[in-house]
């Protein structure tokens, strides 16, 4: 049960001048980690985020201190659990929530095109997680659970009353009681919120609801205003879990929509929050936000942020002491790092050797089919079969990607590949969706080894050749690097990891932004090989994958 206790935490309030033991740095999950939800089990914290059609789906991350997060598994890790084939990148899984109750972990989520809202369970948050149980009666998106004693409830965004919209974006928040033994609804559905805080003002997209209990009140928190620049978080409360819920007169409790978009290093579009008790006994909120450049352009997608919550007159206010969401918050508890944690926050560089498996930071499109990739243990290399499927389609191309987590970043790889036909290509890609990407690859043209640079074309659903250079005929091994500087991407190739030649400089990065490409995802760097619609027996061999990020706000 999500309960926030009202008591004085002596150690955290004694002498306000005491120096904090730790600094929370935002974003706590940089890059494409949207729609966060969190729960606490003992002294452990677990968080989940949306993945849409990327596979494995729904990362499960663990922390002891709300700062250092390690992915311990994925809730959707078996192709038998879920099928995203044929779906556009921004479909698939929307907005998971995670709960812990009586030794069992529950994740609720929406498979937007197949089955709708569902529940999966596990006794170990690292997995394995059960097959989904679909809650057909709970029609809508963004489900979450609330537990009180032996009772459980599912809360979700749904259609307007009688499916009659009074305006575009008119939605409701609804509730069903849930039988935990059968995971079936029982009793009658009830509308808790119609439209939003004030129906007369035509509020839009009331979504991502959570219910908490504190003292004698049930608090219903939800996002409002859509997930872009007008995003916000609002709060209601009631003496009964099934309402009526009265909105806070000073809503919203979190937004940045009123601030100057030209401010330095903005964090915007904040909302879709969840509350949790911190190690100091106080309340904290995790929520999504973005770090835009040049107005509302961003390539890193919607990310996960954290801020303290202050209770004022019985209402929770997120980021109460500041107008702007801060990049750093000082807190009074001890930092607890994971001994074997891969870098995920702050500025870092890493180089992943392909030895015998892929780490949790790598993602496939729509499913994981190990038939087209394998590891050469004696050479520490990853072999990828060239597939007829292309990145422009909605299948499972030979693509393995990693999130772009910084505005200033780079990705690199070493590849051994010899094309036999002009349709055979292998290389490095920066990918936002099926039509918005840049692809640097090795191929042949007129029987000559070439490096090619392509750009996705949304109008033709093809890719356009931007540049081509000829390589020595004997050169099979090549190094690729793509670097980003906010709205510019540069492309490099070389014969070694220290001998780079510029292929193209400062190409348009806004092409990869959410504002241009649309959808709900961020950009991924990835390795990608294809035979472009024709059967091929050829293979590309990748030795390692490197990533580096360096943002001024860290």
The reply to whether 111 belongs to the active site is: no
123 with 104: CB under 8 angstroms? Answer: yes
C-alpha span between 36 and 147 (Å, rounded): 19
DSSP conformation letters of 32-69 = S--S-EEEEETTEEEEE---BTEESEEEEEEESSSS--
The reply to whether 35 belongs to the active site is: yes
453 with 466: CB under 8 angstroms? Answer: yes
Residue owning tokens 């309402």: 243
286 with 273: CB under 8 angstroms? Answer: yes
C-alpha span between 347 and 340 (Å, rounded): 17
DSSP label at 113? T
C-alpha span between 47 and 97 (Å, rounded): 8
> What residues contact residue 156 under an 8 Å CB cut-off, 6+ apart?
117, 138, 140, 141, 142, 143, 144, 173, 174, 175, 209
Number of other residues whose CB lies within 10 A of the CB of residue 47? 27
C-alpha span between 444 and 474 (Å, rounded): 12
Residue owning tokens 């961003």: 298
C-alpha span between 445 and 105 (Å, rounded): 54
> What residues contact residue 395 under an 8 Å CB cut-off, 6+ apart?
85, 86, 365, 366, 389
DSSP label at 217? E
Q: Choosing from 65, 207, 414, 551, which is the catalytic residue?
A: 207
List of E strands, 296-345:
303-312, 315-318, 328-331
Q: Choosing from 35, 111, 233, 274, which is the catalytic residue?
A: 35
> What residues contact residue 552 under an 8 Å CB cut-off, 6+ apart?
265, 408
Known catalytic residues?
35, 207
């Amino acid at each position: 049960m999500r309960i926030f206790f009202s008591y004085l935490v002596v150690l955290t309030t004694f002498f306000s001048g005491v120096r904090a033991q730790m600094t929370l740095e935002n974003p706590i999950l940089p890059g494409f980690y949207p729609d966060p939800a969190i729960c606490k089990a003992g002294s452990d914290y677990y968080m989940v985020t949306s993945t849409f059609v990327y596979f494995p789906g729904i990362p499960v991350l663990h922390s002891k201190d709300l700062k250092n997060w390690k992915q311990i598994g994925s809730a959707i890790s078996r192709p038998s659990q879920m099928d995203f084939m044929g779906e556009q990148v921004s479909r698939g899984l929307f907005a998971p929530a995670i709960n812990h109750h009586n030794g069992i972990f529950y994740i609720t989520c929406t498979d937007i095109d197949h089955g709708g809202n569902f529940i999966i369970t596990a006794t170990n948050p690292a997995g394995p997680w059960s097959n989904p149980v679909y809650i057909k009666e709970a029609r809508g998106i963004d489900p979450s659970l609330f537990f009180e004693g032996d009772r459980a409830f599912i809360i979700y965004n749904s259609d307007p009353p009688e499916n009659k919209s009074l305006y575009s974006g008119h939605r409701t928040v609804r509730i069903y009681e849930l039988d935990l033994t059968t995971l079936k609804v029982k009793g009658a559905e009830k509308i808790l919120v119609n439209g939003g805080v004030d129906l007369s003002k035509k509020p839009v997209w009331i979504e991502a609801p959570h219910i908490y209990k504190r003292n004698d009140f049930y608090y219903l928190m939800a996002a409002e205003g859509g997930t872009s620049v007008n995003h916000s978080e609002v709060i209601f409360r009631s003496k009964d879990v099934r309402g009526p819920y009265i909105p806070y007169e000073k809503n919203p409790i979190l937004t940045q929509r009123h601030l100057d978009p030209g401010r330095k290093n903005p964090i915007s579009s904040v909302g879709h929050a969840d509350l949790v008790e911190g190690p100091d006994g106080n309340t904290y909120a995790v929520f999504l936000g973005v770090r835009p450049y040049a107005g509302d352009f961003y390539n890193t997608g919607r990310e996960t942020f954290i801020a303290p919550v202050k209770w004022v007159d019985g209402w929770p206010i997120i980021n109460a002491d500041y107008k702007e969401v801060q990049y750093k918050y000082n807190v009074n508890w001890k930092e607890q790092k994971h001994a074997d944690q891969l870098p995920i926050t702050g500025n870092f560089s890493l180089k992943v050797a392909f030895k015998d498996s892929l780490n949790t930071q790598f993602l496939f499109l729509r499913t994981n089919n190990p038939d087209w990739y394998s590891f050469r243990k004696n050479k520490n290399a990853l072999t990828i079969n060239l597939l007829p499927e292309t990145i422009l389609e909605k299948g499972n191309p030979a693509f393995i990607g990693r999130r772009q987590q910084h505005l200033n970043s780079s990705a690199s790889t070493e590849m051994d590949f010899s094309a036999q036909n002009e349709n055979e290509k292998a290389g490095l890609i920066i990918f936002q969706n099926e039509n918005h990407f840049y692809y640097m690859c090795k191929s042949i043209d007129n029987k000559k080894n070439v490096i090619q640079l392509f750009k996705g074309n949304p109008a033709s659903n093809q890719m356009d050749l931007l540049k081509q250079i000829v390589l020595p005929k004997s050169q099979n091994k090549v190094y690729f690097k793509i670097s980003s500087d906010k709205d510019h991407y540069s492309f490099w190739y070389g014969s070694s990891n220290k001998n780079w030649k510029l292929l193209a400089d400062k190409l348009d990065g806004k092409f990869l932004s959410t504002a241009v490409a649309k959808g709900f995802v961020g950009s991924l760097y990835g390795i990608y090989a294809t035979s472009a619609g024709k059967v091929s027996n050829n293979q590309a061999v990748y030795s390692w994958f490197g990533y580096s990020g360096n943002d001024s706000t860290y």
